[in-house]
Amino acid sequence: MKKLLKYFSPYIWPLILMAISIFCQVSATLALPDYMAKIINEGIVGQNTKVIFHNGLIMILITIGGGLATVAVGYLASKVGTGFARDLRNAVFTKIESFSLVEFNKFSTASLITRTTNDVQQVQMVSIMVFRIALMAPLMGIIATIKAYQLAPSMTWIMAVAVVALISIVTVLFRIVTPKFDILQKLVDKLNLVTREILTGLRVIKAFNKEKYEEEKFNNVNQELTRLNLFVNRLMMILQPAMMLIMNFMMIAIVWFGAHQISLGNLQIGNMLAFLQYSMQAVSAFLMISIIFIAIPRASVSAGRIAEVLETDVSIKDPKNPVKAPRRGGKVEFKNVTFAYPGATEPVLHNISFVALPGQTTAFVGSTGSGKSTIINLIPRFYDVTEGQILVDDVDIRDMKLQDLRARIGYVSQKAILFSGTIKENIGYGNPNATQEEIFRAAATAQALEFIKELDQKFDGSIAQAGSNFSGGQKQRLAIARALAKNPELYLFDDSFSALDFKTDAALRNALKRETQGKTVLIVTQRVGTIMDADKIIVIETGKIVGEGTHKELLKTCEVYREIAASQLSPEELTRDLS
């Protein structure tokens, strides 16, 4: 919790006002028994009506003031707690946005969602509880104990026994329940992970008739979480009946011994009743303090998980003295680049060197897992190279601001990602100031205009979450249109044509050739037909460059490329290209 205290700084004045309100609330609560004692001792027993009405009126006014103070405390505690939670969620989300893929691999997506929602909610609930109780309970407990002692010193031991009994029960519960809180949050992570996996893969599950299997897997995690929650809640429920039992025994003991003291003439009836109320207030205060000590460990677990995200050192960040590369069209150069994923024993890429020039299309081809996509992912600095350099316009990308680097890039990933909203919003995602003409042109170049025109609302047609209301090929074309609308210097296409039919693929390549004149284009693909006209084709095998040249040159000089081409092209096409 200490690590998150800095997020309370905007709420200093509300906290001060809340402290004043708590003081007024406690003062009102503790003042009432004294007036009640006066009414009984001097008014009822002494048959003085004036005392009854005078002190009764004061009690009514104190009660109204105490009620208003209680409302103020509740309002301010809720305002500070929810505001703190809002700021904390913003901080966590902002931090997550700054993560590179290295940090994303450290935390699962389900865990990050849990930390941003459930964990923050736990901290918020306990924060509100602490605000309302942390100052009030000790203040009330101490003052109520002093006042009770002043009224009947000989019966103070009864309070002490009740407090010790309560603290003993709470301590036992504390030791049993606290270790379970960390397990609970991890089970919530696991439940989110399983749920997300099932919902994402629903089509595959239905296709293979695995609904029962997935239901069982979900139920296993759900039952495990339920069992642990029941165990914790049942133990916590022991606290309330135990408290009531102890307090009732305390009341019986006070009345028993108080009646004896009254019969001896050592205690007045009003003082005994006031002592009873002060005793109840003191024991309740100690109980509230105990509850805080039980609630804080659970919040501490959540706070620790949130702090873990906030304190994670981002591996890829802006340099201290960034260099602004001149606008030259997006020349890309790899110099002896070697890359290994964090924790891997072997590099994925070995000594990769090439130059991609503006106005040219450079393509990468190779078997699955050869490292083609990794090359593309290194350029926007999703990862940083292990050895060597990547230059954009003759400047090392590690010396550039991430925003400046990525502003030059139009990126289309292997999996076409769309966001809920309209088609127009998605195409203009990288260029919010794009005109209607620019969006129309990007859609036309990406061969998306045909199916957009068939929609009732055209460019204002809605896109469901993750683009689930469009086919794979349509999503790819919209993703390509988004990159084109940005009008960058450098285009990165990471196997972005795989869902397109050959006719659309050919039309798209021809349109792209016209649209990207003077720009640098890098394409990763499995299709030889897509890259036959590329200015340069680089063949990757087991993370190494084994061939470089045009389609015809590689057919003659590179055996790996020849095998790939032979698996996709007809013998006649191969013979023609070789001649």
Look at the alpha carbons of 456, 461, 462, 467 in this order and tell me if their dihedral is positive or negative: positive
Whether 285 contacts 138, CB under 8 Å: yes
Report d(CA 509, CA 300) in Å as an integer: 56
**Residue 22: which of 131, 129, 142 has the closest Cα?**
131
Report d(CA 426, CA 481) in Å as an integer: 9
Query: Each residue of 153-171: pLDDT tens digit?
Result: 888 888 888 888 877 887 7
Cβ-based neighbour number of residue 210 at 10 Å: 15
pLDDT of residue 426: 84
pLDDT of residue 269: 78
Whether 167 contacts 290, CB under 8 Å: yes
Instruction: With H, G, I as helix, E, B as strand and everything else as coil, classify residue 558.
Output: coil
The fold of the 332-578 domain, in CATH, is Rossmann fold (3.40.50)
Q: At 579, is the pLDDT very low, low, confident or very high (cuts 50, 70, 90)? A: low
**Taking 60 as the threshold, does the pLDDT of residue 362 lie above it?**
yes
Residue type, 32: L
Report d(CA 559, CA 326) in Å as an integer: 39
Report d(CA 176, CA 181) in Å as an integer: 10
The two beta strands, 361-366 and 520-524, are parallel
pLDDT of residue 261: 79
**Taking 70 as the threshold, does the pLDDT of residue 485 lie above it?**
yes
Q: At 18, is the pLDDT very low, low, confident or very high (cuts 50, 70, 90)? A: confident
pLDDT of residue 181: 75
**Taking 70 as the threshold, does the pLDDT of residue 328 lie above it?**
no
- Percent of the chain's residues with pLDDT above 70: 95
Between helix 49-97 and helix 120-133 the angle, nearest 10°, is 150
Report d(CA 162, CA 141) in Å as an integer: 13
Whether 322 contacts 400, CB under 8 Å: yes
Highest averaged pLDDT of the listed ranges 170-174, 298-302, 379-383 = 379-383
Highest averaged pLDDT of the listed ranges 4-18, 185-199, 328-342 = 328-342
Report d(CA 579, CA 175) in Å as an integer: 82
Instruction: With H, G, I as helix, E, B as strand and everything else as coil, classify residue 361.
Output: strand
Q: Where are the domains of the chain?
A: 12-310, 332-578
- Which pTM does this prediction carry? 0.73
pLDDT of residue 3: 61
Instruction: With H, G, I as helix, E, B as strand and everything else as coil, classify residue 365.
Output: strand
Query: Each residue of 67-110: pLDDT tens digit?
Result: 898 888 888 888 888 888 888 888 888 888 888 777 777 777 77
Report d(CA 535, CA 530) in Å as an integer: 12
Instruction: With H, G, I as helix, E, B as strand and everything else as coil, classify residue 565.
Output: helix
Task: Give mean pLDDT, residues 176-202.
Answer: 77
pLDDT of residue 205: 78
**Taking 80 as the threshold, does the pLDDT of residue 386 lie above it?**
yes
pLDDT of residue 573: 62
**198, 259, 373, 498 from 505: Cα distances, Å:** 33, 97, 20, 9
The token pair that represents 116 in the structure block: 């941003």
DSSP 458: G
Report d(CA 487, CA 32) in Å as an integer: 74
Query: Each residue of 387-419: pLDDT tens digit?
Result: 888 888 888 888 888 888 888 888 888 787 888
DSSP 420: S
Give the DSSP letter string of 469-490. TS-HHHHHHHHHHHHHHH--SE
The two beta strands, 387-392 and 395-396, are antiparallel
Task: Give mean pLDDT, residues 384-388.
Answer: 87
Task: Give mean pLDDT, residues 229-233.
Answer: 82
The token pair that represents 390 in the structure block: 């990547």
pLDDT of residue 385: 87
pLDDT of residue 435: 84
**Residue 258: which of 283, 277, 286 has the closest Cα?**
277
pLDDT of residue 229: 83
The two beta strands, 536-541 and 544-549, are antiparallel
The fold of the 12-310 domain, in CATH, is ABC transporter transmembrane region fold (1.20.1560)
Whether 377 contacts 383, CB under 8 Å: yes
Per the model's pLDDT, the better-predicted residue between 145 and 265 turns out to be 145
- Of 121-125, 141-145, 506-510, which range is least confident? 506-510
Q: At 488, is the pLDDT very low, low, confident or very high (cuts 50, 70, 90)? A: confident
DSSP 526: S
CA-CA-CA-CA dihedral for 72, 73, 76, 80, to nearest 10:
180
**Residue 140: which of 279, 303, 328, 325 has the closest Cα?**
279
Cβ-based neighbour number of residue 521 at 10 Å: 23
**Taking 80 as the threshold, does the pLDDT of residue 135 lie above it?**
no
- Percent of the chain's residues with pLDDT above 90: 0
The region, left, alpha or beta by phi > 0 then psi within -120 to 50, assigned to residue 419 is beta
- Find the helix or strand (DSSP H, E) in which 355 lies: strand 349-356
pLDDT of residue 240: 72
Whether 493 contacts 531, CB under 8 Å: no
**Taking 80 as the threshold, does the pLDDT of residue 264 lie above it?**
no
Average pLDDT along the chain? 81
